[in-house]
């Protein structure tokens, strides 16, 4: 590439580019929305690299953090990326790394999700950084995110301390034209200098390390270059100012510009919300009487501003939860400026269409079989595409990564101690989640003599976040081969004595395995039963496609009960009235009034819908949208009247 070049980058790619350009030689991550594309982009950029970069999808965030930390101990630059709840998993190495510090620049990118859009909490990583005494940058755009990576590496090396960069969903998944440069070549050789009183610090050394950490924080809070950036008309004319950070700053700036207030109100952008610049705090205290703080998601800046005149999320002036959208900030600004004509009711996000498992997804028949076999069962589940099993009534709990197995054990012990009948407990966990943090739970359940069923949904992919490889697949982040770790071997080694494997597409076989597993759990010598439900995610490009394709039809035994829609919910099975496209385009392809095709397959459009059916309910017969159907043939197991049948079988 030229020395400089404009590229269209997503925020996550800009972060990855920042790592690449600034001599980062190790990047580790565990996928999770909104952070997943950070590491994949480093893989892409590393193809331009002159020096090797070790890039890994680690088994979980804790492992990722520790791998990267040791890399920094050798004097090289390292980074670890995760979503905010991933930082909970890495909390142990994270908090101690502040005390012990680092050598080579060390960055932890923790992506927050105000809203939230795809997370189990709205927690603010900046507050976590505050708690751990780790400085944190808060970018407001992809471009700024890339620049902050450079600053973060420099700060980290100046103070030998880990530094956090905290983007939010709106930065991670924004796209912007960003200037890209050639990477800096650091050419550092690994050199670990032993120092047990630091790298293996026992409690006797911790007091001094903590003191040193506090001194570092004080000095960083004095750094002039990191102090908030003033916009507009300083010094203040009306003793009123707005302080903002992250994407909330971007919204605020634009709103004030639009309202023509940029030159009448003092606005500050905070780049480093913790530790907040000391002189800035003093200046705010002495120069302003009314202060509004706009930040996501918890009050971190506000907490450091000490006095009572501050308006923000802590004071309740700014809504205390949820994303700060431009419309929401607009409202807050109007109230702050006393110009509110009326308070606009917050726009309640309308639900729209709920997501569902893809057509042909192997999780669907697995959940269908579980629910059919044990209508009164308890179903702990976990995080991934398969959380959508909720739509099929086969997911009762979803807590945090890997929790389902221990929850299954907890449910068992609770019912078992009462005596009497124990409901069937069927836990579902994905392959990647199993590796991430399911294994300790499995060992624990076995040794505590819990008795329940675990279905490991092995679709050979981390599908929800973009099909990253998991440890049993034998591929590295860049697609090159790696040693594979087998799930059945692990399950056996954990002490499980009932282990079967089944393709969930074969619903009857899967159901009889579930029955067998249940009997095993209830037998005298029983214990934890594991069934590996094995079928690749059809959306994953790495997956080997099916051998057979089944064109399905809905025959005349259909009485319009729509059980298949309610209990199976394949997006390709549609209610005739639900889809306006179906109207006027229904093609009755066989001589019944029972149901039909959307004509996509045939490349022609019929003029009219079928005349009202003579049979009751027949007009309620579902349609198969051939544009969505992937011809998996699984729905033949679904209709209790046998109305859904294979019309034609073809080799793929």
Q: Which residues bind another protein (CB under 8 A)?
A: 6, 8, 10, 33-34, 36, 117-118, 140-141, 170-171, 173-177, 247, 250-251, 253-255, 325-327, 330, 347, 350-358, 385, 387-388, 464-465, 571, 580-581, 584-585, 598-600, 603-605, 627
| Token reading at 10 | 């997503």
Instruction: Pick one of another protein, ligand SF4, none as the site partner of residue 538 (Cβ within 5 to 8 A by kind).
Output: ligand SF4
Return the number of other C-beta atoms located less than 10 Å from residue 222's C-beta: 13
Rounded to whole angstroms, what are the CA distances from 552 to 177, 307, 359, 620, 650?
Answer: 47, 69, 13, 18, 11
CA distances from 379 to 400, 408, 559 (A): 15, 8, 31
Q: Which is nearer to ligand SF4, 365 or 471 (CB)?
A: 365
d(CA 27, CA 478): 12
**Is residue 539 involved in binding ligand SF4 (CB under 6 A)?**
yes
Separation CA 76–CA 105 (nearest Å): 7
What is the spatial distance between Cα 55 and Cα 227, in angstroms, rounded to a whole number?
33
Q: Which is nearer to ligand SF4, 180 or 398 (CB)?
A: 398
Q: Of 5 and 649, which CB lies nearer to another protein in the complex structure? A: 5
- What does DSSP assign to residue 227? S
Q: Residue 539 CB, nearest distance to ligand SF4 (Å)?
A: 4
- Residue 171 or 450: the one with the smaller Cβ distance to another protein is 171
| DSSP single-letter state for residue 463 | T
Q: Residue 458, SS3?
A: strand
**Nearest-10 Cα torsion for 86, 87, 91, 95:** 160
Residues 550 and 572 sit within 8 Å (Cβ to Cβ): no
336 binds, among another protein, ligand SF4, none (CB under 5 to 8 A by kind): none
The option from another protein, ligand SF4, none interacting with 459 (CB < 5 to 8 A, set by class) reads ligand SF4
How far is residue 459 CA from its own chain's centroid? 18
Task: Collect all residues with Cβ–Cβ distance below 8 Å to 489 and sequence separation of at least 6.
Answer: none
Rounded to a whole number of angstroms, the minimum distance from the CB of residue 141 to another protein is 7
Select from 247-255, 320-328, 353-361, 610-618 the region that touches ligand SF4 (CB under 6 A). Answer: 353-361
Q: Which of 554, 544, 545 is nearest to 626 (CA)?
A: 554
Whether residue 233 contacts residue 266, with contact meaning beta carbons closer than 8 Å, is answered with yes
Q: Which of 109, 217, 502, 634 binds ligand SF4 (CB under 6 A)?
A: 634
Q: Prior bond to 599 cis, omega within 30? A: no
Min CB(33)–another protein separation in Å: 4
Can you tell me whether residue 467 is helix, strand or coil?
Answer: coil
Instruction: Give CA separation, 168 vs 72, 112, 139, 176, 214, in Å.
Output: 25, 5, 8, 15, 27
**Interface pick for ligand SF4 out of 100, 570, 623, 639 (rule CB under 6 A):** 570
* Least CB distance to another protein at residue 107 (A): 22
State the nearest-atom distance from the C-beta of 163 to another protein, in Å: 24
One of 67, 80, 328, 361 touching ligand SF4 (CB under 6 A): 361
- What lies within 8 Å, CB to CB, of 36 at 6+ separation is 12, 29, 465, 466, 468
Region of 65-73, 188-196, 553-561, 569-577 interacting with ligand SF4 (CB under 6 A): 569-577
Nearer to ligand SF4, 232 or 638 (CB): 638
241 phi/psi in degrees, rounded to 5: -145, 160
Positions in 381-440 near ligand SF4 (CB under 6 A)? 385
Of the pair 78, 537, the CB lying nearest ligand SF4 is at 537
* Piece of the chain touching ligand SF4 by CB under 6 A; list 144-152, 195-203, 403-411, 533-541: 533-541
List CB contacts of 150: < 8 A, sequence separation 6 or more. 18, 21, 22
Task: Report the partner that residue 60 touches, choosing among another protein, ligand SF4, none (CB closer than 5 to 8 A by kind).
Answer: none
Which of 170, 363, 371, 472 touches ligand SF4 by CB under 6 A? 363
630 touching ligand SF4, by CB under 6 A: yes
Q: Which does 75 bind (CB under 5 to 8 A by kind): another protein, ligand SF4, none?
A: none
- The answer to the question of residue 635 lying near ligand SF4 (CB under 6 A) is yes
Distances (CA, A) of 12 to 28, 34, 40, 119: 14, 8, 9, 17
Count of residues interacting with ligand SF4 (CB under 6 A):
25
Give the CA count within 13 Å in the CB-facing half-sphere of 388: 21
Select from another protein, ligand SF4, none the partner in contact with residue 556, using the beta carbon and a kind-dependent cut-off of 5 to 8 Å.
none
Q: Does position 359 bind ligand SF4 by CB under 6 A?
A: yes
Q: What minimum distance in Å lies between the beta carbon of 132 and ligand SF4?
A: 34
Quote the tokens at residue 373.
Answer: 């076999």
Residue among 629, 637, 639, 643 that touches ligand SF4 (CB under 6 A)? 629
State which residue, 431 or 518, has the beta carbon closest to ligand SF4: 431
130 contacts which partner out of ligand SF4, another protein, none, CB within 5 to 8 A by kind? none
618 binds ligand SF4 (CB under 6 A): no
* 170 interacts with ligand SF4 by CB under 6 A: no
Closest CA to 82 of 32, 26, 40, 139: 32
* Span of 120-128, 281-289, 399-407, 535-543 interacting with ligand SF4 by CB under 6 A: 535-543
- Plot region of 61 (φ>0 → left; ψ -120 to 50 → alpha; else → beta): alpha
Q: Which residues bind ligand SF4 (CB under 6 A)?
A: 357-361, 363, 385, 459, 463, 537-539, 550, 552, 570, 572-573, 624, 629-635
């Amino acid at each position: 590439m030229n020395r400089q070049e404009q590229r269209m980058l997503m925020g996550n790619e800009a972060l990855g580019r920042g790592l690449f350009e600034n001599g980062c030689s190790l990047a580790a991550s565990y996928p999770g929305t909104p952070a997943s594309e950070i590491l994949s982009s480093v893989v892409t950029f590393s193809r331009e690299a002159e020096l090797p970069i070790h890039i890994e999808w680690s088994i979980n965030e804790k492992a990722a953090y520790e791998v990267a930390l040791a890399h920094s101990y050798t004097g090289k630059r390292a980074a670890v990326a995760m979503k905010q709840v991933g930082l909970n998993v890495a909390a142990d190495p994270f908090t101690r790394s502040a005390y012990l510090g680092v050598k080579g620049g060390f960055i932890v990118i923790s992506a927050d999700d105000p809203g939230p859009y795809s997370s189990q909490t709205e927690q603010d990583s900046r507050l976590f950084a505050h708690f751990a005494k780790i400085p944190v940058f808060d970018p407001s755009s992809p471009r700024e995110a890339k620049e902050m990576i450079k600053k973060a590496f420099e700060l980290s090396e100046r103070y030998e301390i880990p530094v956090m960069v905290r983007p939010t969903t709106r930065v991670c998944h924004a796209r912007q034209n960003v200037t890209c440069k050639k990477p800096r070549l650091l050419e550092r050789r690994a050199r670990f200098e032993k120092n047990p009183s630091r790298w293996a610090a026992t409690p006797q050394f911790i007091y001094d390390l903590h003191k040193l950490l506090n001194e570092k924080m004080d000095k960083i809070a004095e750094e002039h270059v990191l102090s908030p950036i003033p916009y507009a008309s300083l010094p203040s004319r009306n003793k009123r100012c707005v302080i903002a950070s992250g994407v909330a700053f971007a919204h605020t700036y634009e709103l004030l510009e639009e309202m023509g207030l940029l030159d009448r109100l003092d606005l500050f952008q905070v780049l480093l919300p913790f530790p907040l610049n000391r002189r800035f705090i003093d200046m705010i205290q002495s120069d302003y009487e009314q202060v509004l703080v706009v930040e996501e998601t918890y009050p971190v800046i506000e907490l450091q501003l000490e006095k009572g005149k501050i308006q923000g999320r802590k004071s309740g002036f700014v809504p205390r939860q949820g994303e700060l959208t431009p419309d929401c900030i607009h409202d807050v600004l109007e109230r702050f400026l006393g110009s509110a004509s009326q308070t606009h009711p917050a726009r309640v996000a309308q639900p729209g269409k709920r997501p569902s498992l893809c057509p042909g997804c192997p999780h669907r028949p697995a959940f269908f079989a579980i629910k059919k076999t044990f209508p009164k069962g308890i179903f702990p589940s976990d995080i991934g595409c398969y959380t959508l099993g909720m739509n099929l009534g086969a997911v009762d709990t979803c807590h945090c990564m890997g929790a389902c197995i221990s929850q299954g054990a907890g449910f068992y012990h609770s019912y078992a101690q009462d005596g009497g009948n124990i409901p069937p407990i069927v836990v579902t966990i994905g392959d990647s989640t199993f590796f991430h943090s399911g294994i300790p739970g499995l060992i624990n359940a076995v040794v505590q003599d819990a008795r329940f069923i675990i279905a490991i949904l092995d679709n050979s992919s981390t599908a929800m976040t973009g099909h990253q490889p998991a440890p049993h697949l034998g591929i590295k982040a860049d697609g090159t081969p790696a040693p594979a770790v087998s799930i059945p071997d692990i399950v056996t080694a954990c002490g499980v004595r009932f282990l079967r494997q089944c393709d969930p597409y074969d619903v009857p076989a899967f159901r009889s395995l579930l029955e067998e597993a249940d009997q095993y759990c209830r037998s005298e010598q029983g214990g934890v039963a594991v069934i590996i439900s094995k079928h690749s995610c059809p959306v994953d490009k790495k997956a080997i496609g099916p051998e057979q394709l089944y064109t399905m039809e809905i025959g005349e035994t259909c009485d319009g009960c729509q059980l298949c829609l309610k209990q199976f919910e394949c997006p390709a099975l549609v209610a005739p009235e639900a889809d306006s496209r179906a109207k006027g385009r229904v093609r009755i392809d066989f001589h019944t009034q029972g149901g039909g095709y959307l004509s996509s397959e045939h490349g022609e459009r019929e003029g009219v819908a079928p005349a009202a059916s003579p049979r009751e309910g027949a007009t309620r017969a579902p349609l198969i949208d051939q544009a969505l159907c992937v011809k998996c043939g699984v729905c033949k197991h679904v209709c209790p009247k046998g109305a859904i049948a294979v019309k034609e079988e073809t080799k793929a």
